[in-house]
Structure 1
Amino acid sequence: MNMNVFPLVMTPAFRHGSQTPWGGHALKELFGKDTPEDITGESLEVSALPGLESCVSGGEYAGKTLREMHSLWGKSLTGLEGKDFPLLLKFLDTRQPLSVQVHPDDSYALSHEGKLGKSEAWYILDAAPGAELVYGINTRGESLRSVLDAGKLESCLCRTEVHAGDVFYIPAGTVHALGAGIRCYEIQQTSDLTYRLWDWGRVGKDGRPRQLHIEQAIAVSNINSLPVRGETVEKLPGGLRTLLVSDPHFRLYACDLGGRLSLATGKMQFLSATAKGCTLCWEDHRISLLPWQTAVLPAALPEIAVEGRGRILVSSPA
């Protein structure tokens, strides 16, 4: 891991229009993203999904996709063996609620779909007054199938009002749905596997409801319980670092800057500036991140620090 690497400031890819009919205007209006359409639901800040790859925004590798950078830098970038890029980071804006859904774990996904499953976490960036999401399901002792057959699913969904700064850990098997009026940061395994359990009775422009995946959702849902999440706060020179979520696949931290904060090295990290922006410092170099920009920090960086005031979000492989 001795390749000459440096932070990569990313230009996001977008899901928009008919891909995210529930999306809104906030990615452009609040976060300054160059969205392709007014209705844009997702800004994929760090993505190696085919067709939805984020790109390097400037410098000698400007325009190269994350997949190309992974091919070029390999383990020096990710710190991991293997050809697959492990994580996906995106911002979401919900003008309407998303479907009630659940993701399979790796074991089920590999045996039934031939790909990895998905665990994820949400950090709420902004929320309209009274905005809520679905976080878990309580079938009150009945099976999920009997609840569905009786048409009682909506009454069993656990709804939670949300506010900026709230954190939700969503390991595979957790029934969940973002509600309307929420802007959030999502870190997840690189996977597009979603089983839709309920879509609020909505129909598309063709008059048909979207496809549900009832059998798969029943098979993988973890009902009547929610994941345990604990936070660990470290006071460091230059700020505070809080471990928000620890999953077998990723870690999510919030860092509250009060000057210059040195970051641990040896693991790839995704660093997202929030409303105040920040400055990355390594060796004899400095680069500024604008508000809501994200940089990929390669695992092989010998040192890296961040300067600024306010909160940044940092994710890394576990």
Structure 2
Amino acid sequence: MSAKMYPMQFEPILKERIWGGEKLKTILNKPINSKITGESWELSTVEGDVSIIANGSLKGKSLMDIINESPDEVLGTAVHARFGKQFPLLFKYLDAREDLSIQVHPNDKLAKERHNSFGKTEMWYVMQADTDSRIIVGFKEDSNKEEYLNHLENNTLVSILDDVKAKSGDVFFLETGTVHAIGAGLVVAEIQQTSDITYRLYDFDRVDAQGNKRELHVDLALDAINYNKVETFKNYDKVFNQSNVIVDCPYFTTNYLPLDGKVEVSKNGKSFTVYMCVDGNFEIESENEKYIYKKGDTVLVPAALKSFSLNGNAAVLEVCIV
């Protein structure tokens, strides 16, 4: 018999990065003790980094354990039919004390051929931005392989890339092939396909504590890059107590749900739902049980929970697969 399903939180998987800082602790209350923590993986089935349940009767089990035992109940009937017993998304918070490397992710076809992996379509929700923080997203104008390589060789790549100021509440949607970098001074919620495949193009000539530069993947990236100008910024509505669509793509649908009171939620059992609390506090009430969340929390509501309510004063990202 399947275990009883309930809203689940997971132990954060914390990642030190050369560009990381301490905001995941000071702003999001993550249990870090390093001055260079760049990422908190909230919900992951990436090999070697599988999330462990932190609450309730299934505490201590891994996300893969419960999917293997109850795929329809956890993933949903439609997600299970499409992806098998794979959890198709990865949820993170990132703190960029310095600029991230300029990078690109391959599409599903390339990632499958080269790495037996999903591609990496992703989106960013900016939770906090220092003054004049910016991101790099794609080319300023349509480019080509020759122009790109010429600028890469001459250390002038940044001059042909689109540099966009970013502020709290901004959303950027990055399809595979989009050259990008999160800039210094940003805390970001990231929703992406389950993939850890990144091709690093340029790293600002940084070295690590041992004086070594990080590996670049210039050759692998050439066939992965979209050399055309792309539109990544997403405008979206912010109607209270309503799911306002931000991104609706083949891999995930993300809504912005600003809470001011109580919202009843009804689901059809076809997909799980994930809530990322990007501001404030809220609770989920299900089967007379209450679960309380604060800014920086991420919760998986299994597909088997078809009726529940949200209540609080919060800004929440609501993610499912349609």
> What TM-score, normalized by structure 1, do the two folds share?
0.92
Q: Paired residue for 1:55?
A: 52
Conserved in 2, the CA contact under 8 Å of 1:3 and 1:300?
no
Match of 1:75 among 63, 72, 77: 72
Conserved in 2, the CA contact under 8 Å of 1:229 and 1:245?
no
- SS, match of residue 10 in structure 2: strand
In structure 2, distance between residues paired with 1:98 and 1:254: 26
Conserved in 2, the CA contact under 8 Å of 1:257 and 1:309?
yes
Conserved in 2, the CA contact under 8 Å of 1:3 and 1:76?
no
Q: Tell me if 1:208 matches 2:212.
A: yes
Q: Paired residue for 1:8?
A: 8
Relative distance call for 1:135 and 1:93 in structure 2 (3 A) is same
Conserved in 2, the CA contact under 8 Å of 1:274 and 1:292?
yes
CA deviation string 1:248-301 (max 9, x = no partner): 101111101121112341321111223321010122222111332111001121
Unaligned runs of 5+ in 2: none
Q: Paired residue for 1:23?
A: 20
RMSD: 2.1
- SS, match of residue 239 in structure 1: coil
Q: CA deviation at 1:61?
A: 1.1
Unaligned runs of 5+ in 1: none
> Residues 121-200 of structure 1 correspond to what in structure 2 (within 5 A)?
121-138=123-140, 141-142=143-144, 143=146, 144-200=148-204
Match of 1:106 among 108, 112, 132: 108
In structure 2, distance between residues paired with 1:180 and 1:211: 21
Q: Paired residue for 1:222?
A: 226
- SS, match of residue 91 in structure 1: strand
CA deviation string 1:154-176 (max 9, x = no partner): 21111111100000001101110
Question: In the alignment, residue 116 of structure 1 is paired with which amino acid?
Answer: F
CA deviation string 1:90-131 (max 9, x = no partner): 100011111000000101111222221111000000011111
In structure 1, distance between residues paired with 2:182 and 2:266: 32
- SS, match of residue 277 in structure 1: strand
Relative distance call for 1:22 and 1:240 in structure 2 (3 A) is same
- SS, match of residue 214 in structure 2: coil
Q: CA deviation at 1:315?
A: 1.4
Question: In the alignment, residue 186 of structure 2 is paired with which amino acid?
Answer: I
Q: CA deviation at 1:66?
A: 1.5
Conserved in 2, the CA contact under 8 Å of 1:10 and 1:293?
no
Report runs of 4+ in structure 1 exceeding 6 Å deviation.
none
- SS, match of residue 307 in structure 2: coil
Q: Paired residue for 2:312?
A: 308
- SS, match of residue 210 in structure 2: coil
Conserved in 2, the CA contact under 8 Å of 1:275 and 1:292?
yes
> What TM-score, normalized by structure 2, do the two folds share?
0.90
Conserved in 2, the CA contact under 8 Å of 1:11 and 1:54?
yes
Conserved in 2, the CA contact under 8 Å of 1:136 and 1:176?
yes
Q: Tell me if 1:37 matches 2:17.
A: no
Aligned pairs, number: 313
